[in-house]
Amino acid sequence: MSLFACARPKTNDSKSARNTQLEKRIRESSKENIELNSLNITDDDVSYIVNKIIKKNKRCQSLSLTNNEITSNGIQILINSLVKNSKITHLNLSSNPLGDQAIEFINQLIASNRTLYHLSLADTNITDIGFRELIQALSSNSSSLRTLDLRSNKSITDASIPFLIQMVDRNQTLSACRLDNCQLTEQGLNQLKEEKSVKW
Within a 13 Å sphere around the CA of 122, how many CA atoms are in the beta-carbon half? 18
- Quick check: is 37 in a domain? no
- Quick check: is 161 in a domain? yes
| Exposure string for 36-49, b = 16+ CB within 10 A, e = fewer | beebebebebbebb
For 151, counting Cβ atoms within 10 Å of its Cβ (0-12 exposed, 13-18 middle, 19+ buried), the class is: middle
- Quick check: is 5 in a domain? no
- Quick check: is 140 in a domain? yes
> Going residue by residue through the chain (200 aa), what tens digit of pLDDT does each one get?
444 444 444 456 777 888 898 999 999 999 899 999 999 999 999 999 999 998 888 889 999 999 999 999 999 999 999 987 778 999 999 999 999 999 999 999 999 888 999 999 999 999 999 999 999 999 986 789 999 999 999 999 999 999 999 999 999 899 999 999 999 999 999 999 999 999 99
- Quick check: is 19 in a domain? no
Angle of helix 128-138 relative to helix 161-170, nearest 10 degrees, comes to 10
Q: Name the pairing type of β-strands 147-149 and 176-178.
A: parallel
- Quick check: is 32 in a domain? no
d(CA 106, CA 74): 12
- Please tell me the pTM assigned to this model: 0.90
- Quick check: is 142 in a domain? yes
The CATH number of residue 170's host domain is: 3.80.10.10
- Quick check: is 23 in a domain? no
Asked if 23 contacts 52 with a C-beta cutoff of 8 angstroms, the reply is yes
Residue ranges making up the domain that contains 167? 59-194
Q: Report the helix count and the strand count for the chain, using DSSP H and E.
A: 7, 6
Rg of the chain over all Cα atoms, to the nearest angstrom:
19
How many domains does the chain contain in total?
1
